[in-house]
Each structure stands twice: as structure tokens, then as C-alpha cells.
Amino acid sequence: MIEVSGLRKSYRTRRGRKATTVEAVRGVDFSVQRGEIFGFLGPNGAGKSTTLKMLATLLRPDGGEASIAGADLRRDPGQVRERIGFVAQSSGTYDHSTGRRDLILEARMYGESRSTAQELAAGVIKAFQLEDFVDRQIKTYSGGQRRRLDVALGVIHSPQVIFLDEPTAGLDPPSRARMWQEVRRLRDQGMTVFLTTHYLDEADTLCDRVSIIDSGLIVAEGTPSDLKREISGDVVIVDLAAPDTAGAPEPAIVLDASKVLAEQPYVESCETIEHTLRLYVDSAATAIPQIMRALNGKGIEPGAIETRRPSLDDVFLAKTGRTLAD
Amino acid sequence: MKLLRDTWLIFQYEVTLQVRNPVNVAITLIQPITYLLLFTPFLKAVMHAPTYSEAFQIYVPSLFAAMGVFSGMFAGFTLLGAIRQGVVTRCRVTPVSRVSLLLGRVLMHILLIGFQGIIVTIAAVVLGLRVQPGNFLFALVLLGLMVLLSVSIGYGLALLVPNESSLVTLTNSIAQPVSLLAGVLIPLTVAPLWVRNVADWNPFAWGTNAMRSIFEGNIGASVVWQATLIMGVVALVTVVLTSRLFSRETA
């Protein structure tokens, strides 16, 4: 449904008199299948929004090819616009308008007649359960209500592909759950959903497949479970801060501990994040006693040890050497 | 055809929002009415106008020009607001005509300022102005052309300088000389020769002079057709330039 190869975009920014070129997207490739929820995951500034804006015809790519729902992005952006919906990160509505007025405008911008537009508006108002507030001024809506209106606006013309830029950013947990439900409903109706997010749990539970972008390049692509399986075994997190003191441990201790643990044969890799060490091991159950022994041998007393299954954050850390949460 | 339909669609939408906000519309009337009431007596004395009707014939066209220049150029802030709220982005991902997104909004400003012009004229008529309805309608057409030009300039500036505080300074430093050199306070007829020579290059000055001729009942004066032609051509060029600026980066 979406085929992207070698898509590139750079910006020229001027700070003072010095002009620099920022390569926001440095050649990304991915494909999205019909009827799947595809998550585009990455930290802020990784090139997520730039890629999304190019696919939504808002920015012209510098290079590369993309086809969306059978239309060529560079040669025929008009056809792309007919077939996609796009929901930006910030709402695209005037505070003093009403939801219904904007829904009707939206349908009419896709060329529908006034009466068809009213019917389409009534349809999405029902589907997204906007009845209670849709005729009030938009400035009175809660964050979740506003976001639901935004998505309703994006899909009023039943596009084949819907692009959602950070659909749950800033929402409280119940509104997020509600939004996930709506996104799944769109997928179940046969729509292809492309969303960006920097929430790992969102990518994990909502997306059928994810692509991880960092510094303008795709570093991993696959289903969340496949990606996590690539990180074999378990994750053991060793916190070197002593539990009874608030202060962080000496940097030398952290360095010592990471050195000794990285040398252990059962540790596949070891990453340091401030005063915690993240160890990737085959089995946490057998590794923990050996870790304790190795640390005690150096006279280091860990404050806490916990263990868990690998998360997408571990995938991200393994691919980029940084955590997404930073 | 699509261009007309889409322009009408955006125009309707923007106008409805304005009409739903009558307080804002009323606020824009305070300044012109204040000037009408308090500045006309000064002008009557300075210009040695024998009656208030004649003083209004001089001043109402000036007010039209002032509204045309200032309200028009400051319309850039409305566009900036729409861009900030993401409304423009949301419209740009739909197949709606790019030029219509601009023209629909420009027409909304023309309607609003035209409405102000009508209210101001009604107030002046109540106070003693005499003007032929037909002549008045033609003056409104000229006002519309003037607003078309100034809004395109205002939108162009907002697109070039998308930063509110710099835009205030920039817009003011353009709108002030342009309006003074259009004779919005004191008619250019009493200005020194060099000022009149400079003003010959100001399309807004042509518009003001033409409107003044019309209000004086002299619609056949050559300045009227000349001003219509000059403002029409300049407005067209500006609209084209601004729409290109507006649709830059989008296909």
C-alpha cells in the first residue's frame, strides 16, 4: 500500500550568518501492507515528522521514490491527496469553529456536495461518538475529544491510507486507550494506518509492524515481537546506587562494574545508562548469582537488580546505542 | 471551475466564522467611526470646506484608503493565525485548490472591509454627506481592488516573515508611509510637489484620488479609469506572486 525507497530531505537553516544543511531524512526505505497498522518509531528530531510530511504531500522530497495506494508521490501528488488522510500533531481547527462545521468543510474540500458532506459528517460523528460536543465551539473540547475530532476529519472521505502524527501525544491514559480502539477500528474497516509515535508501549501493543528511525535512517523494521526476539534472552538491570543513599555512586565504580560485567562470558552485551547497567543475557535466573559474585569480587555492592523480557526500548538501544526514553 | 467552487467554499467558511464573532467585527468599526467624528472637523477647517457635506466628500475616501491599507496589510496576522493553528496544513493535504485557500480568505477580508466602508458611509450620510448611490457603489469596487492589493501584500509579508513581533514592525513601517503618501490624512492636493511626485508611484494614492473624485460626483474624471487600471494590474501581479509564495514547497 505504501512503497518508499531512498526518500531524502534536507533543510537549509540559517543561524546568524552561517547557513548549514540539516539532513533530516537520509534515504529511507520501507513498505507498508494493506490493512496493517504501521508504526514509525523514533526519538524527537529523528526524521519521523519530515518523512510523514513528505508522504502527505506537504513537503517535496529531495530524492527517492514513493508510491501510496498506487499513486506516485512525486509525479502525481494530486492523486495521492485523493487517496490519503492526514492528521497532524497539532489540531488543524479554529478554536471558535464547531466540530460539525469543520467536518462538513473537510468533506467539501474533497469535492463532495453540501448534502453528501452533511451525511458523511453525520456518519463519522456517530462512528467516533462525537454527538455530545460536536456542535459546541472546539475550544471547549477536552484533549481527547479534540483528538477524536482530528482523526474523524482525517478519515471523513474514507481514504485508503490514514497518516497519524503522534496520535496520542499529550493524552491521558483513558483517552489514549480510546484512541487505540479507534485506530484498530479503522484498520478493521480495511484502512491502512501509518502512525508515528515515540511511545514504546504504543508501538508494542497497537502496531502490527514497526520501523525504527534514528538520525534520518531506518535502523530496524519488523513486527514488535520479531524485533524483540532478535534481542535474545533476558534483560538484567543492575542499579549501582545504594538503596539507603539518595546520591549516585562514584563514576569510577560504574565504569569498573561495567568493565567487569562486560567481560563475563554469559553477558552478551552491556549498556551503561547513568548509574544503571543494562545486561543482555541468555537466562536471568542463572546469570543473577554470577553477576552478584562478579561484582562482590570487585567489592561492589549493587543497590538493586531487576530482570525483565526485552522491550522495544532494548531493540532501540541495541540498534542505536541510546535509549528512546532520553 | 474547481478554482471558483473551492474559493467560494473557503470564503463561505471564513465568513461564517467571522459572522459568528460579531464582537470582533464591531471592534474593527470603532477606529474609523472615531476618526470620522473627530477628524472631519479639523479637516473641514484646514481645507476650508464650506459645509460638512464637502468635508466628508474629502474625508470618507481617505478613511476608505486608510482601512484599505491598514486592515488589508494587517490581515497577514489572520493568515499567520490560521497557519499556527494548523488549519492551512490540514487544508493543504486535501485536493482543494491551493490558490483558493488564499483567494477565499482574501475575499473574506474584502467583504469585511467593504462592510466597514458601508457603515462608515451610512454614518457620514447621517451627519450630512451627500453621494449618488451609483457613485458610491463604484467607490466600493475601488475599495475592493485596494483591499485585494493590500491583503496580498500583507499575506506575502506574513509568509516571508512568519514571526508576529517582526511582522508588526515590518507591516507598520510599510503601511505608514504608503498610507500617508496616499493622502489618508490630508489630501495630496495640498502636498508639496516632491511628495506628489513620489505619490505618483503609489497605487494606493491613485485609488484615494479616484475615490475622492467619485465622492465629489466626478466619476467621469480620467483619474478614475486610470486608478482602476493601475490598481487592477498591480493587484493581479501581487496576487500571483503571493499565491506562488503560498504554494511553494507544495505541488
Q: Do A81 and B16 touch (CB under 8 A)?
A: no
Using a CB-CB distance cutoff of 8 angstroms, which residues of chain B are in contact with residue A93? 85-87, 90
pLDDT at position A162, please? 95
pLDDT confidence tier of residue A247, bands split at 50, 70 and 90: low
Q: Which of B86, B95, B249 sits opposite A110 (nearest CB)?
A: B95
Tell me the average pLDDT across A46-53. Answer: 88
For helices A143-155 and A173-188, give the axis angle rounded to 10 degrees. Answer: 10
Q: Name the residue ranges covered by the structural domains of chain A.
A: 2-224, 232-309
The complex's ipTM works out to 0.86
pLDDT at position A326, please? 54
Q: Which residues of A184-197 are buried (b: 16+ CB within 10 A; e: fewer)?
A: eebbeeebbbbbbb
pLDDT at position A170, please? 85
Q: What's the whole-model pTM score?
A: 0.84
Average model confidence (pLDDT) for chain B?
Answer: 91
Q: Which stretches of chain A sit within 8 Å of chain B by CB? A: 56-60, 77-78, 81-82, 84-86, 88, 90-97, 101, 105-106, 108-111, 153
Nearest residue of B to residue A55, measured between CA atoms = B93
Inform me whether the pLDDT recorded for A110 exceeds 90: yes
pLDDT at position A246, please? 61
pLDDT confidence tier of residue A21, bands split at 50, 70 and 90: confident
Please say whether the beta carbons of B5 and A113 come within 8 A. no
Please state which CATH number belongs to domain A2-224.
Answer: 3.40.50.300
Inform me whether the pLDDT recorded for A236 exceeds 70: yes
d(CA B207, CA B171): 20
Using a CB-CB distance cutoff of 8 angstroms, which residues of chain A are in contact with residue B16? 101
Residues in B 1-20 with any Cβ partner in A closer than 8 A: 6, 9, 13, 16-17, 20
Q: Which of A58, A84, A92 sits opposite B87 (nearest CB)?
A: A92
Q: Which of B13, B21, B94 sits opposite A96 (nearest CB)?
A: B21
pLDDT confidence tier of residue B251, bands split at 50, 70 and 90: very low
Tell me the average pLDDT across A18-24. Answer: 82
- B85: which 3 cell numbers? 493553528
Torsion of CA B222, B224, B228, B229, to 10 degrees: 0
Express each pLDDT in B80-99 by its tens digit: 999 889 999 999 999 999 89
Q: Name the residue ranges covered by the structural domains of chain B.
A: 2-246
Inform me whether the pLDDT recorded for A250 exceeds 80: no
State which CATH number among 1.10.287.90, 3.30.479.30, 3.30.70.100, 3.40.50.300 fits the domain covering A232-309: 3.30.70.100
pLDDT at position A243, please? 63
d(CA B56, CA B41): 9
